[in-house]
Structure 1
Amino acid sequence: MKHRLIFPTLSRIILSANILQGAGDNMSQTTICDLHCDTAINLADGKGIGGQQAKSQVAPEKLTAGGIGLQVYACWVSPKYRHRKAWDRARQLIAAAKKEISDHPSELMLVSDKKSWQECRKNNKVGIMLAVEGGHVLDGDISRLDSLYDQGVRILTLTWNNSNQFATSAYSAHKTGLDKGLTPLGRKLIARADKLGIHIDLSHSSEKTFWDVLKTSRHPPLLSHSCVKFLNGHFRNASDKQIKAVSDKMGLMGINFCPAFLGDKHKPKSVESVADQFEYIKELAGTDILAIGSDFDGIRETPEGLDGPDKLPGLIRMLKSRGFSQKELDDISLNNTLRFLGWQ
């Protein structure tokens, strides 16, 4: 397929402010899922990923204002934590996320399956789903996956920037030129995750790891917070071939808001840049694959007009202005994720 580059026209730029305000529409009533934020770090430490003092981009009032129905809290463990300390850090972050939920019982609820999700919606709360980012927290001990499951974790990002005992990361492959993919121990991990019902997130995984997991796992693939390599050649982004493979296997791809991953690196990033990602994938593989994976509280800068979950309805309006149907918008906002999880 011959692809066209997508750039905002002058008329789009002029209309952007009005679209984001959304006067007279019902986008604020849309229920939205965000597949990835790193807020647990702020909750535990009062600091962001870079170690800077940070006012969280995600807070209960912002989730409610944005119409968020389901938010995945990723518990990211820095590779500076090793062995037992990495495991203890993961448990600390999980505990911090759960404390946030217990501190806001009228707004938030932990969800881990279809039953809890339905109860959450019935009570008009924001569902919080737990993920762990970085397989190194297991320190090669697959039995710890069972413990994570028992603590409510339903997503494991196989690698972060660092490779581990299970797989090669995209960053490591980029820096060293060596990509060993999934290890024999990694194959055992995938088998156990499949049996438990933990979804393996391939954001941050190397290309060979990606393909190895697709050959090994019985579950549809997940890229919770990734972008399009055709629009920006960053090593973290997914190729057209990978995107099509995720679509072919009924998987899911949440679009990341990190400016470094979006479009031309020399141009400022805005909600238009994020919309470009959705539009490109719609043309390439359809909309059934698409979701939101903001990476809020894991990125120091955000695209203009998208600095928190309360601004996500503006993104939905932008997609509507580009010709996405109401069904496509509903699917991207929530239904694709529910289908992927088996919660519909």
Structure 2
Amino acid sequence: MRIMDGHCDALTKLYMNPKLDFDKEEQELDVSYPRLKQAGVKVQCFAIYLSDSIQQPTFDHILQMVDLFHRKIVRHPGMKLIQNVEDWRAVEAEEQIGAILTLEGLDALAGNMTHLRILHHLGVRSIGLTWNYANWAADGVMEPRKSGFTRKGKLMLKELETMGIIADVSHLSVTAFWELVEVYAKPFIASHSNAQKVCPHPRNLSDDQIKAIIQCQGLIGITFVPYFVDCANLAVPITALLKHIDHVCSLGGEGNIGFGSDFDGIEQWMKDLRHVGQYGNIIEALCKNYKETQVEAFLYGNWRNFMLTNLPK
């Protein structure tokens, strides 16, 4: 079965540790070319995330990561950059794995819309608006004041809409989430978030938020972060993911479910899900509980439908 994964932080690991090699099955790299191939991943999103260890993130840091993405990931003969619908269809017609470049957190753009347009030219097709805390555009979900967007942040949302960059609400504050629903007129995603009703972590989505994503024909990437899957246990089995899928389905979101692992952005892992090469264990669990057509949709089809509708033509 084909797979699309909506979020990983392999690019950050490659940036922080130049000795890592995307071409090899590195123990420190959850997402590498051999492991993507092993799992049958057809499309992988790679996030530009500037680690907290970078004290004053700048646009130059982002450009260095874009350069790294092109040099270490899409230069691989088995990989292909996806920027539009035509690229997606080309990947499907070939043996290559598609790579979509995303940005997690607007901090280093410093409110400069030219920087935003440059990233679009360089291939960024989705932007997570915040990480956990506040930046110039909006508050993250862990920011104590729990505010929404700044004036400039709302202007930036309209720029995203005009350019066709997909807004990603994972990490966004609740207030900002609802402001985005009012301002951003296109479908949006939560690339790596689960259901709060199943696991009441602030990073997960309330039922009303899930319904809003369904209403706008958006997509939710069910994530593998153990404490977003099960708040009570340390050793979390793969079957615990199914509770989140069932809950989103119960709200009418069967066609709005995908996966967004957050591999390489986590330091704890679920049982039997230590790296992207182990997606087969998820497929096994899914096939025991859902029809084949549903499993194919969760793994790939729903993401595919969303991207073919929302990527530039």
Do both proteins adopt the same fold according to a TM-score greater than 0.5, normalized to the shorter chain? yes
Amino acid at match of 2:173: S
Query: Counterpart of 2:242?
Result: 275
Offset of 1:255 from its aligned partner?
0.8
Q: Is the 8 A contact 2:220 2:256 kept in 1?
A: yes
Compare 248-257 and 90-99 and name the one that shifted more.
90-99
Q: Which amino acid aligns with 1:320?
A: C
Measured after TM superposition, the shift of residue 309 of structure 1 is 1.6
Corresponding residue pairs, total: 304
Cα deviation digits, residues 212-233 of structure 1 (max 9, x gap): 1111111112100001111221
CA contact (8 A) 2:200 2:231 kept: no
1:43-58 matches, within 5 Å, as: 43-46=14-17, 55-58=28-31
1:100-145 deviation line (CA, Å, top 9, x unaligned): 234421x111111111111122221100000011111211112211
Q: 1:91 aligns with which of 60, 63, 69?
A: 63
Counterpart secondary structure, 1:130: strand
What residue number does 2:97 align with?
126
Contact 1:79/1:136, CA 8 A, preserved across alignment: no
Q: Does 1:194 align with 2:194?
A: no
Check conservation: 1:275, 1:315, Cα contact below 8 A.
no
Cα pair 2:74 2:99 within 8 Å, conserved: no
Residue in structure 2 matching 1:296, options 263, 276, 288: 263
1:202-221 matches, cutoff 5 A: 202-221=169-188
Instruction: Provide the secondary structure at the position in 2 that maps to 1:145.
Output: helix
Structure 2 distance, partners of 1:160, 1:320, is 34
- The TM-score normalised by the length of structure 2 is 0.92
Aligned to 1:32: 3
Which residue number in structure 2 is paired with residue 151 of structure 1? Answer: 122
Per the alignment, residue 160 of structure 1 pairs with 131
Query: In 1, distance between residues paired with 2:229 and 2:220?
Result: 15
8 Å CA contact 1:40–1:94 kept in 2: the answer is no
Find the residue that maps to 2:5 and give its secondary structure.
Answer: strand
**What pairs up with 1:1-344 in 2 under 5 angstroms?**
30-46=1-17, 55-79=28-52, 81=54, 85-105=57-77, 107-172=78-143, 177-322=144-289, 324-342=290-308
**2:22 is matched with which residue?**
none
In structure 2, the gaps of 5 or more residues are: 19-25
Q: 1:69 to 1:281 in 2, by over 3 A?
A: same
In structure 1, how many angstroms separate the alpha carbons of the residues matched to 2:152 and 2:64?
26
CA shift for structure 1 position 320: 1.9
Q: Are 1:221 and 1:252, in contact at CA under 8 Å, matched by a contact in 2?
A: yes
Map Cα deviations across residues 281-333 of structure 1 (whole Å, 9 max, x no partner).
122233111000000000011101111222112212212211x2222112111
Deviations 1:142-172 (A, max 9, x none): 2211011011000110000121111110010
How high is the TM-score relative to the length of structure 1?
Answer: 0.84
Equivalent-residue separation in structure 2 for 1:44 and 1:165 (angstroms): 24
Q: Distance in 1 between matches of 2:238 and 2:251?
A: 20
Identity of aligned residues (%): 27
- Rounded to whole Å, the distance in 2 between the matches of 1:71 and 1:222 is 15
Q: Note if contact 1:77-1:86 (Cα within 8 Å) is conserved in structure 2.
A: no
CA 194–275 in structure 1, closer or farther in 2 if over 3 Å, else same: same
- CA distance in structure 1 between the partners assigned to 2:129 and 2:258 by the alignment: 19
